[in-house]
Amino acid sequence: MISQEHDGRTAEVPDGLPVLSVGRHRAPDRGSCVMEYVSVLAGEPWSDHPRCTDRALGELARRVNDDVRAPARPALALLAPRLAGAVGPGVATDVVVRAVARAGLQHAPEDPVLRRVHRRAARRLARDDGSWSGHLRVALVRWGRAVTGAGVGDVYHRFCCVQQGLPRAARDAARVRALALATEDVRRWLAVPETPDPCDPDLPGRGARRTGTTQPASS
């Protein structure tokens, strides 16, 4: 087990899985980006575009992986289990765009570009009520970039621009937080079911096994 620390948290990479690094890799022995790591965790073929993660969210994850420095990447390993399974029947582009814009507004609340992008993404999401007519309305709004506004790459670029005055470590931490925010937003939007952690000591019966005590038999 390889343990690495970032922002006071420890990311443990299971033995046999590569340490995260920049770019795409042909095989695990040559390194791994966060999405290749996700493909292994999900039991999929080795790929930086695993099917278990929403395409827009995967794009953001690859950008963050390649932009941050090595000391920040262990924090991405903590997000990998959340990225795995964050997928649904559609592509959650507007959810990711809104999340990145919201993260950027935390640093630059008056930035006109981020405010406009956030507002438009929120409006499109409000139109999409899950019905066929809702999907059609959103599809019509997305017809042409001049109407739809920014995509993931555009809003991420603006997000990075508003942080230029921050120290590098702070910029890296902000990028990781933006990915974490987008991941949780996508999971909520797609209603991804949560799987209990079998190692959670708060699960029923875990306390007894951990302390060596015996659970009273039910009558």
pLDDT band at 5; cut points 50, 70, 90: very low
Predicted pLDDT of residue 4:
42
Query: Strand 2-6 and strand 9-13: pairing?
Result: antiparallel
Cβ-based neighbours of 215, under 8 Å, separated by 6 or more? 205, 208
Predicted pLDDT of residue 202:
54
pLDDT in tens, 90-107: 788 999 999 999 999 999
Predicted pLDDT of residue 146:
35
Other Cβ atoms less than 10 A from the Cβ of 196: the count is 9
Q: Is the pLDDT of residue 218 over 50?
A: no
Give Cα separations from 208 to 15, 89, 128, 213 (angstroms): 29, 41, 47, 5
pLDDT in tens, 148-204: 456 899 999 999 999 988 999 999 999 999 999 999 999 999 888 876 544 444 544
pLDDT band at 210; cut points 50, 70, 90: very low
Predicted pLDDT of residue 156:
95
Predicted pLDDT of residue 31:
73
Instruction: Report the alpha-carbon distance of residue 95 to residue 53 in Å, rounded.
Output: 14
37: closest CA among 93, 91, 1, 79? 79
Cβ-based neighbours of 123, under 8 Å, separated by 6 or more? none
Predicted pLDDT of residue 103:
95
Pairwise pLDDT comparison (206 vs 156), residue with the higher score: 156
Query: According to the 3-state scheme, what is the secondary structure of the chain?
Result: CEEEEECCEEEEECCCCCCECCCCCCCHHHCECHHHHHHHHCCCCCCCCCCCCCHHHHHHHHHHHHHCCHHHCHHHHHHHHHHCCCCCCCCCHHHHHHHHHHHHHHHCCCCHHHHHHHHHHHHHHHHCCCCHHHHHHHHHHCCCHHHHCCCHHHHHHHHHHCCCCCCHHHHHHHHHHHHHHHHHHHHHHCCCCCCCCCCCCCCCCHHHHHHCCCCCCCC
Instruction: Report the alpha-carbon distance of residue 110 to residue 108 in Å, rounded.
Output: 6
Predicted pLDDT of residue 32:
83
Predicted pLDDT of residue 20:
78
Predicted pLDDT of residue 35:
92
For the segment 15-24, the average pLDDT, to the nearest whole number, is 66
pLDDT band at 142; cut points 50, 70, 90: very low
pLDDT in tens, 27-73: 776 778 899 999 988 999 988 899 999 999 999 999 999 999 988 88
Tell me the sheet residues that pair with 9.
Answer: 6
pLDDT band at 209; cut points 50, 70, 90: very low
Instruction: Report the alpha-carbon distance of residue 180 to residue 174 in Å, rounded.
Output: 10
